[in-house]
Amino acid sequence: MPRPAGLPLLLLPLLLAAQPAGVVPQAAVAPDALWLADTARLTVTVEGPAPLRVELPEKADELLDDASRRVWKIDQPGPPAVTPLDGGRERWSRTYRLSPFVPGDSVPVGFDPVKVRAGGAAFDTTFPTVAVVVKASGTPPTLEGVEVRGIEDLPPVTPPPPGPVGWVLAGVLGAVFAAGIVAGLVRKWRAKPPAPPPVVRAWAELDRAAAAPPGPAAERVAAALREYAARRFGVPALHLTTAELAAAPWPEHFPADVVAALADILAACDRAKFAAEAPAADLIGPARSWVTAAEAQVRP
């Protein structure tokens, strides 16, 4: 069950009480307001007595807590840096790239505890949660404050009476113009809007599945995950059984445990559809977690 984003803030006094005095974990996101399609730089730092060492998880996304991994993609970790300070202290820091999945006025960046060694003592500490503004779209410009001046009225121009040839030419041009307008309107009416990105469509389908009864919900979950895998990674998921999909060739960098997790979710959906078994208590949560984990494997 996902942990609330504010939990690290509630536990911070207890963690600080368990660690040596003078050890200060910090986190900062720059910029702290960005568009949904943009990226930001996350910097985590720890100040404390020397020698100072921080042990981070091997995978970048494991630095974030469960709730933040659902709304942020974290990658491209920079090398850790240790800077000497006065008074026998040091500052440890490391940077990452953050990419938002969802918009919001206060999208939290929360963290799981990390191990720290400072001044010969070992303990766990947690970076403080940071709130970031993620904007989905901009505000169109207005003409407020722009001076609009009047335009003189020009006297009307009286056209000369058309001759016989003029009437024929005017009729032909009018018919061509009308045909062009009709063709443009038909083309615009038939034009289809661009398909949403695979991750956006997957989230929308899972939201619809959450509101459906158990049986239809299992079918929607399976269809959403298969379509996402096919569109995002080029795997023929729509034409393979669950067992064939698990054994199919995925991108080289795609972890085997993420493929196995997808096979487990689809197997539960298959049992719900074909064996008349009730699906797991919650297929939606594991499905959303799998999409988040799979999206983290997409390389820029």
Residue that is written with structure tokens 């459906």 in the block: 212
Side chain identity at residue 48, one-letter code: G
Q: Output the pLDDT for position 14.
A: 47
Question: How is residue 196 written in tokens?
Answer: 């949403």
Q: What is the pLDDT of residues 53-86, one digit of tens each?
A: 999 888 988 999 999 999 999 998 889 999 999 9
Beta bridge partners of 91: 47, 83
- The answer on pLDDT for 186 being more than 80 is no
pLDDT band at residue 167, thresholds of 50, 70 and 90? low
Of residues 188 and 243, more confidently modeled: 243
Please tell me the least confidently modeled range out of 19-28, 72-81, 123-132, 191-200: 191-200
* DSSP helix/strand/coil, 242: helix
Q: 3.30.530, 2.60.40, 3.30.420, 3.40.390: which CATH number matches 7-135?
A: 2.60.40
Of residues 178 and 144, more confidently modeled: 178
Residue % of the chain over a pLDDT of 70: 77
Question: Which one, of 232, 297, 225, lies nearest residue 268 by Cα?
Answer: 225
Q: How confident is the model over 176-181, as a mean pLDDT?
A: 84
- The answer on pLDDT for 165 being more than 70 is no
Instruction: Provide the whole-model pTM.
Output: 0.42
Q: How confident is the model over 202-223, as a mean pLDDT?
A: 84
Question: How is residue 168 written in tokens?
Answer: 């024929």
Q: What is the pLDDT of residues 252-262, one digit of tens each?
A: 888 889 889 88
Q: Output the pLDDT for position 99.
A: 93
Dihedral of alpha carbons 142, 146, 149, 154, sign: negative
Of residues 75 and 137, more confidently modeled: 75
pLDDT band at residue 1, thresholds of 50, 70 and 90? very low
Q: Which residues contact 258 (CB under 8 A, 6 or more apart)?
A: 290, 293, 294, 297
Q: Output the pLDDT for position 110.
A: 95
Q: How confident is the model over 188-202, as a mean pLDDT?
A: 77
Q: Output the pLDDT for position 162.
A: 57
Instruction: Look over the chain and give the mean of its residue pLDDT values, rounded to a whole number.
Output: 81
Question: Which one, of 249, 251, 227, 246, lies nearest residue 238 by Cα?
Answer: 227
pLDDT band at residue 19, thresholds of 50, 70 and 90? low
Residue % of the chain over a pLDDT of 90: 32
* DSSP helix/strand/coil, 294: helix
Q: Output the pLDDT for position 81.
A: 92
Other Cβ atoms less than 10 A from the Cβ of 280: the count is: 17
Q: Which residues contact 203 (CB under 8 A, 6 or more apart)?
A: 101, 288, 291
- The answer on pLDDT for 221 being more than 80 is yes
Going from the C-alpha of 287 to that of each of 19, 122, 196, 217, the distances in angstroms are 37, 37, 19, 11
Q: Domain locations in the chain?
A: 7-135, 198-295
Q: What is the pLDDT of residues 241-253, one digit of tens each?
A: 888 888 888 888 8
